[in-house]
Structure 1
């Protein structure tokens, strides 16, 4: 049974199945006509989107659930004593159909959803919750697993099989397998309700994002935007310009919008999108947080975070707060210094107002230009999307790992914007398929992510089929897709996740690739960002979209010199969001949150992250999809935790020859290819030669 990484979940994937024997119309009898119920005949078993229809998903998911239930019954009722093969391996194989269907289903509900898929998602959420409970709260099944775990030293298992056994045992214990029967029933009710609430949150937030888009009818209101940007924002009736909302608090257009009232209008729409609107999420997130606290208490923990962190590198909330405490003073001090500089720029430009959040990026860009003579509009012409991908992201993978890439226009996709590439090893052996879906659209949730259509597994002789999803503004037809440097970094980041999945070399899918704790899974992706500015890589992809001219060294120097610019703001907004997450998930059972906005305000004040008024959290609670709509509850800190790892790792590369095939191969073999087969602290220490240090991170941020 595949154990997917929590980061890469598009929603709660590990919940499931109705114990009812009632069967919805259209399960096994439809197998021959349902393309989701048979292995695809495309290369690498990639999903055939020319055959898949919305109506196929519900019956396929229901049949996947029934097949897994039948497999579980066989395991539990096996009269023979438990063995690795008849219990652990059988459990690992039990969801082969469900996993295949669910991989495709959640790719679409995240990247290209519709009313039909949303309805199925809402209906299936409690069924998935029940299935997970039917597995991990099954006393007979747990006793078989426990018997094997108790005698594991005498089983003569290879290292990966032993790790699989240990993983399942730990998962059963964490899920509540040791609870008495009455408490298991209570836990099942909590899990089912949480699954429904999470799905409702995601649906409501998508509607809030789409409904919050801001329409301007006067061109003067959008002074500062380029003609190409204006063209891409034109409404269908040609009567105005519509700016869609990104999932974050700050919106990209705020940087160039000259009209202060327009900036405030856009910022306010983003800030209030799910607060007091027709798509309000406040009651939903309160119920989620309070129910999670009850779940933590039921399982014997002081709060949800304490329960959730058991299988992570941090282990306990205290360790997370220790990380925060080491960063907050330096971050806020730097943010105050930056705010002072920006306020001076406001004054210099004739402004007679106090700096607000909607002013920050606009005037910060002026400060950057003044300090570093670097204008974002100077560099965007050198960052054309496809060139960045093929001559930057792919080129770095070639230099480090020997990979080559071939465009595959014969592989069907779920949307016309999606590109597909086949990956090859240095010796010419095929590695897998990569799907790239970069442009935003109303049917796509906010953010950026990676996941699998097919997971690498020697057990099934399968190579990975992986996709990256981003939300870059789509240019008007005929115009180039020019990226900001942040968007370039995001592309490198998400492909770092993809590499982690492509280099997987495991027998069991549950241990493969990115199936690691969330405070490690972001390490390979953040580490891969470092190559975006590496001289050899940058010069290869930073080519002017019109002339092909290589980016001038002068601009490269300016980009590097400005690398620590605005890092006080960046770190503080991240810490604010991370702390909000931990505050929501360290409330105790019985805590009653009267108002989400009051809770948020008090949480930021408590952690001294509201000292710079113009620096809001990267995500406000009402649209914090990582923690209320995905698998990052009590886990958003992991971006900072793994940032410490990735800067420390890059420090090793810099001191050992930099970008070389030898270094890349060593990193691949000792880290990227190991999946979840080793304790992660040991994996890192074996590669690095020491524990990670925070100093390289603070140096890179320029906050110390």
Structure 2
């Protein structure tokens, strides 16, 4: 059988040959990819000469190319367009990949070679990126357990394989339960308050499930739902909120409660084996935060004023509503109060946020103004789903940057949320170009109707494109540092910075055009949005901090601590930090907290606000230095985005900013002074 993964793609920019890839290609490619890489590692460790950078680190970085090709494509498909086969294969392959990773990271001969070079790195005369490569490998392998005894390594392998199985199962359960809990509406009158395009999308979602004449409200990843701000029927709002919060905890085949308990127990035991007090301590040891104490100090500093502000906001909402506010009421009455206080109506803004204009005249326009890059749609290059669009990105001199693919719409086969992946990661050593993809979850209207985005969806679009720019611009020698391969509590920083251009006057005026009348968005809309920038920040900060602190609480547990009830643990954890307001539920409860139990943000959900300190300070810098200019864009590209993970991120920030970050702009932004 000819397998398209067995050789590098010959398509433009190395785009995977999606037209040729079939489900049956994945497993053989994974098996051969793992076998090939183990043989490549064995060729390093069998050498009789003393370890050097050239005979150890170069071949180590060159290893595993087949495995990387298939993994990048498969895991993107498993997230964006899954099916029964990919779901089953992901569960089968997860423990095998964990074992494969352990076979490399826990290889004593390989670790000896890495450590030998590390111990003499001062005298080797390496360039800065090569030296950093040595330092990162040594730190990562040490923290991963490479120095353990043989018996302890066997225990570690068991932990890693079992955890890989559990986290995969968590994600599959969540997707199935999310689809099952979608809210079916019989009468269109119950959808009063929604825009015609939203009603059309709900009808289309129902039709795709064989529910002709009905309407289906699919659930998003967080606890809240965009429709809650507009639906006038309180009973329908309550149904949506109840369905959202029921995910993964209904006692059915998709219940994630026992999985949460086993994951946290195993992570704590593994951390003890590795010499750490908790999983949070193990994770943060190799992040910019360095230890969970630093994380908790920041989160606790923000929790008290956030909870205070949320309760003040709640009083305003109850005055508007004339009755106590429940969680399913908050978004609806927030819009009422926002209109009363600031005359802001986000629903009235939607006709100005037509998706195609947002893409070309907003997201792409801002990038062109800042960085000089140009975008050309490539209909001749096939992507992994008919809805996915492909764009070639070039510099202003015509030189290539890479390919950008956009997967905008929600579907039952796609997990919730929004994200960026690299399908091909740039590397000079491997002569690799770059292909990145953005996934969003915008409801797809019926054919011929416009896709009108919400305010939050536009913001998410700019955010995820910030990740894409990071992946597109990074120019590194070694694949380990490619694209967004940097510290987890730094990686959100570039994407958060890119959000600022959404409301930048020159950008907004270019894309916020009424899709029917062609009129620009009235300036007073923008003025009111900006005047209300700190409005509802108490709620938004509280729901985020509740999730971040819940993540920390689960992963602060030491080995041997027994937790037998998920809701009780959650309640106690949130009460302890004053974020137990029933009207302000945590952004994610444990049984659908994909970030921490299947998404790689375990003990790391704090990263968003940790990065926001850098982001808010950087926004201040842009505003103080002329804003949307090529000079500013080039500086940010060269000193931050362009370095990928090839230097310490805080050093890169200091190089860009001229100093360490100041937290004051964040406190000002969120009204937490």
TM-score bracket relative to the smaller structure: over 0.9
Of 396, 405, 429, the residue aligned with 2:366 is: 396
Of 357, 360, 363, the residue aligned with 1:387 is: 357
Q: Tell me the alpha carbon deviations over residues 213-239 of structure 1, each in whole angstroms, 9 at most, x when there is no partner.
A: 011213333222233322221222324
SS in 1 for 2:172: helix
Which range moves more in the overlay, 472-481 or 517-526?
Answer: 472-481
Does residue 324 (structure 1) correspond to residue 299 (structure 2)? The answer is yes
Residue 265 of structure 2 corresponds to which residue in structure 1?
A: 290
User: For the residues of structure 2 that align with 1:464 and 1:226, how far apart are their CA atoms?
Assistant: 39
The 5-angstrom pairing of residues 406-417 of structure 1 reads: 406-417=376-387
Which range moves more in the overlay, 673-682 or 462-471?
Answer: 673-682
The 5-angstrom pairing of residues 598-637 of structure 1 reads: 598-610=568-580, 612-637=581-606
User: For the residues of structure 1 that align with 2:274 and 2:121, how far apart are their CA atoms?
Assistant: 26
User: For the residues of structure 1 that align with 2:116 and 2:23, how far apart are their CA atoms?
Assistant: 43
Does residue 450 (structure 1) correspond to residue 420 (structure 2)? The answer is yes
User: For the residues of structure 1 that align with 2:47 and 2:107, how far apart are their CA atoms?
Assistant: 14
Does residue 255 (structure 1) correspond to residue 225 (structure 2)? The answer is no
The 5-angstrom pairing of residues 83-482 of structure 1 reads: 83-234=52-203, 235-236=206-207, 237-278=211-252, 279-347=254-322, 353-482=323-452
Q: Quote how far apart the aligned CAs of 1:595 are.
A: 0.6
Q: Quote how far apart the aligned CAs of 1:602 are.
A: 0.7
Q: Tell me the alpha carbon deviations over residues 25-56 of structure 1, each in whole angstroms, 9 at most, x when there is no partner.
A: xxxxx4xx011111112100101111000110
Of 587, 597, 609, the residue aligned with 1:640 is: 609
User: For the residues of structure 1 that align with 2:584 and 2:245, how far apart are their CA atoms?
Assistant: 13
Extract unaligned runs of 5+ from structure 2.
Answer: none
Q: Does the aligned pair in 1 maintain the 2:409–2:440 contact within 8 Å?
A: yes
The 5-angstrom pairing of residues 459-538 of structure 1 reads: 459-538=429-508
Residue 56 of structure 1 corresponds to which residue in structure 2?
A: 25
Q: Tell me the alpha carbon deviations over residues 389-413 of structure 1, each in whole angstroms, 9 at most, x when there is no partner.
A: 1111111111111111111111101
Residue 16 of structure 2 corresponds to which residue in structure 1?
A: 47
Coordinate RMSD, CA, aligned: 1.1
SS in 1 for 2:643: coil
Q: Does the aligned pair in 1 maintain the 2:197–2:452 contact within 8 Å?
A: no
SS in 2 for 1:467: strand
Q: Tell me the alpha carbon deviations over residues 613-657 of structure 1, each in whole angstroms, 9 at most, x when there is no partner.
A: 200011111100000011100000000001111000111111112
Q: Tell me the alpha carbon deviations over residues 411-434 of structure 1, each in whole angstroms, 9 at most, x when there is no partner.
A: 101111111111111211111000
Residue 620 of structure 2 corresponds to which residue in structure 1?
A: 651
SS in 1 for 2:640: helix
Q: Does the aligned pair in 1 maintain the 2:197–2:450 contact within 8 Å?
A: no
SS in 2 for 1:460: coil
Which range moves more in the overlay, 77-86 or 496-505?
Answer: 77-86
Q: Tell me the alpha carbon deviations over residues 476-509 of structure 1, each in whole angstroms, 9 at most, x when there is no partner.
A: 2211111111111100000101111111110111
User: For the residues of structure 2 that align with 1:658 and 1:230, how far apart are their CA atoms?
Assistant: 39
Q: Quote how far apart the aligned CAs of 1:562 are.
A: 2.1
Residue 661 of structure 2 corresponds to which residue in structure 1?
A: 692
User: For the residues of structure 1 that align with 2:135 and 2:183, how far apart are their CA atoms?
Assistant: 51
Q: Quote how far apart the aligned CAs of 1:674 are.
A: 1.0
* Number of equivalences: 667
Q: TM (normalized to structure 2)?
A: 0.98
Of 547, 554, 559, the residue aligned with 2:517 is: 547
Residue 563 of structure 1 corresponds to which residue in structure 2?
A: 533
SS in 1 for 2:267: helix
Q: Quote how far apart the aligned CAs of 1:99 are.
A: 0.4
SS in 1 for 2:533: helix
Q: Does the aligned pair in 1 maintain the 2:302–2:672 contact within 8 Å?
A: no
User: For the residues of structure 2 that align with 1:116 and 1:323, how far apart are their CA atoms?
Assistant: 43
Does residue 676 (structure 1) correspond to residue 645 (structure 2)? The answer is yes
SS in 1 for 2:379: coil
SS in 2 for 1:311: coil
User: For the residues of structure 2 that align with 1:403 and 1:307, how far apart are their CA atoms?
Assistant: 40
Q: Quote how far apart the aligned CAs of 1:127 are.
A: 0.6
Q: TM (normalized to structure 1)?
A: 0.93
SS in 1 for 2:8: coil
SS in 2 for 1:663: helix
Q: Tell me the alpha carbon deviations over residues 506-546 of structure 1, each in whole angstroms, 9 at most, x when there is no partner.
A: 01110122110111100000000011011011101111111
* Runs of 4 or more consecutive aligned structure 1 residues displaced over 4 Å after TM superposition: none
Q: Quote how far apart the aligned CAs of 1:277 are.
A: 4.6
User: For the residues of structure 2 that align with 1:646 and 1:208, how far apart are their CA atoms?
Assistant: 35
Of 77, 91, 96, the residue aligned with 2:46 is: 77
Does residue 36 (structure 1) correspond to residue 10 (structure 2)? The answer is no
SS in 2 for 1:516: coil
SS in 2 for 1:420: strand
User: For the residues of structure 2 that align with 1:124 and 1:286, how far apart are their CA atoms?
Assistant: 23
Q: Quote how far apart the aligned CAs of 1:310 are.
A: 1.3
User: For the residues of structure 2 that align with 1:516 and 1:271, how far apart are their CA atoms?
Assistant: 33
Extract unaligned runs of 5+ from structure 1.
Answer: 1-29, 348-352
User: For the residues of structure 2 that align with 1:130 and 1:186, how far apart are their CA atoms?
Assistant: 12
Which range moves more in the overlay, 542-551 or 384-393?
Answer: 542-551
Q: Quote how far apart the aligned CAs of 1:336 are.
A: 0.8
Q: Quote how far apart the aligned CAs of 1:313 are.
A: 1.0
Q: Does the aligned pair in 1 maintain the 2:352–2:513 contact within 8 Å?
A: yes
